Amino acid sequence: MIYSQEVSNMTCIAKEVNHGPAPIPEEGKWVQSKEIKDISGLTHGVGWCAPQQGACKLTLNVKEGIIQEALIETVGCSGMTHSAAMASEILPGKTILEALNTDLVCDAINTAMRELFLQIAYGRTQTAFSEGGLPVGAGLEDLGKGLRSQIGTMYGTLKKGPRYLELTEGYVTRLALDKEERIIGYEFVSLGKMMEMIKKGTPAQEALEKATGNYGRFAEAARYVDPRKE
């Protein structure tokens, strides 16, 4: 350790007060975190790239400072999906400090990691008051049956109005319009359920029909339109 001449010439005075860091809530416990291994918790965060072309939702499950589970969900950029593939290999097994200082390929994923680090380090995780936290695998529960991200894709123009393309229920195939051309419902296909049935041997057309549902006053429509073509 190198000290300046000014410090070297100072008189030594006793430092009495040292209460340590303020305790933070972690998985149902109050912890004075002094090292990376003192940190545990599961939480989510959102990141974005510099041009804000795309965004990433990152979910991490951290146990004793080490990332045990990572869920990377991206939107708005084709290249980001490939970056997410690499991040899914990179993140598990790293400490949160290593992950913070690792190039996760995409700015949006890097930014999400930064935001998560702040939440985790300050004890602001989703499991702060959950005794024992959540088991590894809990991140998949966000995806539901079929393991697909919750996606909402809507489009609208002043001239032609709104188009529902995809909602939580699934891929929208038809919009139901009333006599005044207002949307009163929609038909959708749950792609996750459909693919599960096809993988189990169900013929594609039958799987499509079984995975199709509708919402709202769909049956009362004056007419139906394909939101992607009409």
**CA 226 from centroid of its chain's CA atoms:** 30
**Residue-level pLDDT at 1:** 92
pLDDT over 70 percentage in the chain: 100
Continuous segment of H or E residues that includes residue 174: strand 170-177
DSSP for 21-54, written as a single string: SPPEEETTEEE---SGGG--EEEEEEEE-TT---
Give the model confidence (pLDDT) of 174-191 as tens digits: 999 999 999 999 999 999
Alpha-carbon span 134 to 77, nearest angstrom: 31
The full length of the chain comes to 230
Asked whether the whole model's pTM tops 0.95, one would answer no
DSSP-derived letter for residue 20 is -
And the tokens for 215?
Answer: 């919402």
- Report mean pLDDT in 10-residue bins for the chain, 230 residues: 94 87 94 94 94 94 96 92 95 96 94 95 94 92 82 95 94 96 96 93 96 96 96
Alpha-carbon span 85 to 104, nearest angstrom: 10
Alpha-carbon span 64 to 38, nearest angstrom: 6
Alpha-carbon span 113 to 119, nearest angstrom: 10
